[in-house]
Amino acid sequence: MSDFFLSELRLVFGRRRNQAALLVLAGPPLLIAIAVKVSASGPGQGAPDFFSSITQNGLFVALAALTIEMGLFLPLATSLVAGDAVAGEAHSGTLRYLLTVPVSRTRLLLTKLAAIVAYVVTATLVVTVVGMVAGVILFGGGSMTTISGTSLGGLAAVLRVLLAALYLAVGLCSLGAIGLFVSTLTEQPLAAMLATVVISTASFVLDTIPQVAWLHPYLVTHQWSAFADLFRAPIALTDIGHGLYLALAYGVVATLAALARFRGKDITS
């Protein structure tokens, strides 16, 4: 691991607003666990879902929290870091000095992308781990009943939840790549952050409109909820595969666009 990458990690994880974002992300799983415990609600009727299954196994708190936070809080945290990556440096006047380091612009941008990925994965795991710990403490763990009605052993259930978190993190990383590209277009980090949030929000909104159903398979957020298919027997891989392919496509295209823009960018600050 290069000193340049470690320096970028310290910059990203050392910013107080990014640390505060991680603390905020840890809140919903705790609130979900406490709310369900206080309400003492039993399993729901009909098709099982993550919320109605919490009282059966505390690991479902993590899945319920991911479902809640993937709509706003996780994209917001991703946008916070990605939008600030280049625009923040330009706004503060440090980008010109950063480019005096004997490192190519390509390596600089890819290092920033790697730091974004590290933060996004960390943020997703914070939600997941806090949810699992809180859920197991309040409701216990052990074997998990899947959506299909089969049973997973305790260790297999934990691994499946972590796999679900990593799948969602891949989708969020594609949003991070989009945010990095937007960040190369402006010297105002707030504008880049807001634009990235608008992109994810618009994708979610469009995904609910049946009149544009032809567009749904191409929306960046369309398959984020497909991690639920990891809890079927057998695992339904169709939507998961499409989600990974879509995330990869968006990530590659956005990264190439960011590189093209940044390598030809006239640094004025």
Give the residue among 70, 76, 51 at the shortest CA–CA distance from 139. 51
Give per-residue pLDDT as tens, 145-162. 888 888 888 899 999 999
* Minimum mean pLDDT range among 4-13, 45-54, 126-135, 168-177: 45-54
Quote the CA–CA distance of 260 and 61 in Å, as a whole number.
Answer: 42
Residue 4: predicted pLDDT = 81
CB 149 within 8 A of CB 234: no
Give the residue among 71, 64, 69, 80 at the shortest CA–CA distance from 20. 80
- Tokens representing 100 are 């005096």
Give the residue among 149, 181, 164, 162 at the shortest CA–CA distance from 240. 164
- Beta strands, E only, the chain: 144-145, 151-152
DSSP state of 123: H
Give the residue among 190, 162, 193, 179 at the shortest CA–CA distance from 251. 179
Quote the CA–CA distance of 83 and 100 in Å, as a whole number.
Answer: 22
**Residue ranges of domains in the chain:** 3-263
Q: Omega before 29 cis (within 30°)?
A: no
CB 219 within 8 A of CB 146: no
Give per-residue pLDDT as tens, 14-23. 999 999 999 9
Residue 267: predicted pLDDT = 57
Residue 92: predicted pLDDT = 76
Q: What is the DSSP string of 61-78?
A: HHHHHHHHHTTTHHHHHH
Give per-residue pLDDT as tens, 62-104. 999 999 999 999 999 999 999 999 988 887 777 766 666 667 8
Q: Using the Cα atoms of residue 76, residue 124, residue 31 and residue 17 in order, give the sign of their dihedral.
A: negative
How many angstroms from the chain centroid is the CA of residue 156? 23
Q: Between residues 114 and 4, which one has the greater pLDDT?
A: 114
Residue 40 has pLDDT above 80, yes or no: no
Residue 3: predicted pLDDT = 79
With cut-offs at 50, 70 and 90, classify the pLDDT of residue 237. Answer: very high
Q: Between residues 208 and 91, which one has the greater pLDDT?
A: 208
CB 112 within 8 A of CB 162: no
Instruction: Tell me what the mean pLDDT of segment 161-170 comes to.
Output: 97
